């Protein structure tokens, strides 16, 4: 007899839930999870490997629990006067967000976000026994300062997620929305800047708002612009008191010595690691322009992906692209698909495949 979840003494509040579900398929062109598809430059990879090799020799010992060197490296990368004691890191920004929820949400508490937004927020929220409250966006998925403040005041959540720019829509979030949500709330306000490096050069980061706002947190990741998704490294900046709160919930030594060595070495080469960003932006804008020419409805994007509407049957289009070796993402918005910007060649393959489907 096959055992199912129903046969297990599972928590009642997890019954009926679905796990994070981006399909994993070994297709030649994978543009479905917003990775940076450019490989790490060989000289940087060599330096990272050397640093990791040194760390391996010391793996008999637990790693630095405070990941001091890595926090210093993140503080200097972020600028804005951020000090190392304002920095936290974990195994992907997913774990950073989980630490925040463990400390500031939990049973009997609520967390709020403007839907549609990053699908892991609600899963992480339910995972700590909190209630997820979905707010709404405008017709083009935009969020305005007055409406956002009103929704947050009505919901009165313990934690607010602001995804800037938003996944899966790519929508930018202006700094006045962050300020007004902060004023309207009493809880922790998390600005998730996972894709910030793909925003225009003159875009303002929420890091600029940190001074004097002890409930504000700005989360980042090395998974996107840094092309380091496989290493699992995310980080945040906030008031040092927030960092103290996170120490209460993290597992001791949660960042392995191998991870710390790899991330610190990668940050030594941040200029080279980030060199692909400009090309990805070119490919993203080429995707938007070509989709429009094909009669689709792409949304403005400040990220490394494009959401587009005007897809009559998203699942059928997804399947036909799949048959042509191209993996994109069905994100559950009727009539829409999402595609990550790849290398120039990958992007061309995607656009040609889509055009051939459109013509068929």
Q: Residue numbers of the site for ligand PMP (CB under 6 A)?
A: 34, 92-94, 118, 163, 167, 192, 194, 221, 223, 229, 234
Q: H helices of the chain, where?
A: 42-57, 68-78, 93-104, 120-127, 145-155, 175-184, 240-247, 257-268, 270-273, 277-293, 314-323, 344-359
Measured distance CA(64)–CA(22) in Å, rounded: 33
Residue 173 or residue 354: which is nearer to ligand PMP going by CB?
Answer: 173
CB 337 within 8 A of CB 328: yes
Residue 133 or residue 191: which is nearer to ligand PMP going by CB?
Answer: 191
Residue 182 or residue 196: which is nearer to ligand PMP going by CB?
Answer: 196
Q: Is 109 left (phi over 0), alpha (psi -120 to 50) or beta?
A: beta
Q: Which residue is nearest to ligand PMP (CB)?
A: 92
- Least CB distance from residue 81 to ligand PMP, whole Å? 24
- DSSP-derived 3-state class of residue 287: helix
Residue 37 or residue 167: which is nearer to ligand PMP going by CB?
Answer: 167
- Least CB distance from residue 152 to ligand PMP, whole Å? 19
- Least CB distance from residue 222 to ligand PMP, whole Å? 7
Determine phi and psi for 24, rounding to 5 degrees.
-105, 115
- Least CB distance from residue 352 to ligand PMP, whole Å? 26
Sequence-distant (≥ 6) Cβ neighbours of residue 26 within 8 angstroms: none
- Least CB distance from residue 167 to ligand PMP, whole Å? 4
- Least CB distance from residue 230 to ligand PMP, whole Å? 9
Residue 194 or residue 311: which is nearer to ligand PMP going by CB?
Answer: 194
- Least CB distance from residue 164 to ligand PMP, whole Å? 9
CB 85 within 8 A of CB 106: no
Residue 226 or residue 350: which is nearer to ligand PMP going by CB?
Answer: 226
Residue 89 or residue 353: which is nearer to ligand PMP going by CB?
Answer: 89
- Least CB distance from residue 349 to ligand PMP, whole Å? 22
Determine phi and psi for 237, rounding to 5 degrees.
-130, 140
Sequence-distant (≥ 6) Cβ neighbours of residue 217 within 8 angstroms: 100, 188, 189, 190, 191, 236, 237, 238, 242
The greatest distance separating any two alpha carbons of the chain, rounded to the nearest whole angstrom, comes to 61
Question: Which 8-state DSSP code applies to residue 337?
Answer: E
Residue 105 or residue 353: which is nearer to ligand PMP going by CB?
Answer: 105
Distances (CA, A) of 156 to 143, 210, 219, 251: 18, 21, 22, 30
């Amino acid at each position: 007899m096959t055992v199912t979840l129903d046969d297990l003494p599972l928590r009642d509040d997890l019954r009926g839930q679905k796990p994070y579900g981006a399909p994993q398929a070994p297709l030649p062109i994978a543009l479905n999870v917003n990775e940076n598809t450019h490989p790490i430059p060989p000289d940087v990879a060599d330096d990272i490997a050397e640093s990791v090799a040194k760390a391996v020799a010391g793996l008999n010992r637990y790693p630095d629990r405070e990941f001091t060197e890595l926090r210093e490296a993140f503080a200097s990368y972020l600028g804005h006067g951020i000090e190392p004691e304002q920095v936290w890191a974990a195994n992907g920004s997913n774990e950073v967000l989980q630490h925040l929820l463990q400390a500031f949400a939990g049973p009997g508490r609520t967390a709020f976000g403007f839907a549609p937004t990053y699908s892991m927020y609600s899963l992480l929220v339910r995972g700590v026994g909190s209630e997820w409250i979905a707010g709404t966006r405008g017709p083009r998925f935009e969020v305005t300062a007055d409406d956002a403040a009103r929704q947050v005041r009505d919901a009165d959540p313990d934690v607010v997620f602001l995804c800037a720019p938003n996944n899966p829509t790519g929508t930018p979030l202006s700094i006045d929305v962050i300020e007004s949500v902060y004023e309207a709330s009493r809880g922790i306000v998390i600005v998730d800047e996972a894709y910030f490096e793909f925003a225009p050069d003159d875009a303002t980061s929420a890091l600029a708002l940190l001074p004097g706002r002890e409930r504000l947190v700005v989360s980042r990741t090395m998974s996107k612009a840094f092309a380091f998704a496989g290493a699992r490294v995310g980080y945040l900046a906030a008031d040092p008191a927030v960092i103290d709160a996170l120490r209460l919930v993290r597992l001791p030594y949660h960042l392995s010595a191998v991870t710390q060595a790899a991330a610190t070495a990668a940050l030594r080469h941040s200029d080279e690691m980030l060199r692909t960003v400009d090309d990805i932006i070119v490919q993203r804008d080429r995707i938007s322009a070509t989709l429009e020419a094909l009669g689709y409805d792409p949304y403005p994007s400040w990220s490394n992906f494009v959401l587009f509407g005007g897809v009559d049957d998203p699942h059928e289009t997804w399947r036909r692209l799949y048959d042509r070796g191209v993996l994109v993402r069905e994100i559950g918005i009727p009539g829409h698909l999402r595609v990550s910007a790849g290398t120039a060649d990958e992007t061309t393959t995607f656009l040609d495949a889509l055009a051939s489907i459109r013509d068929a």
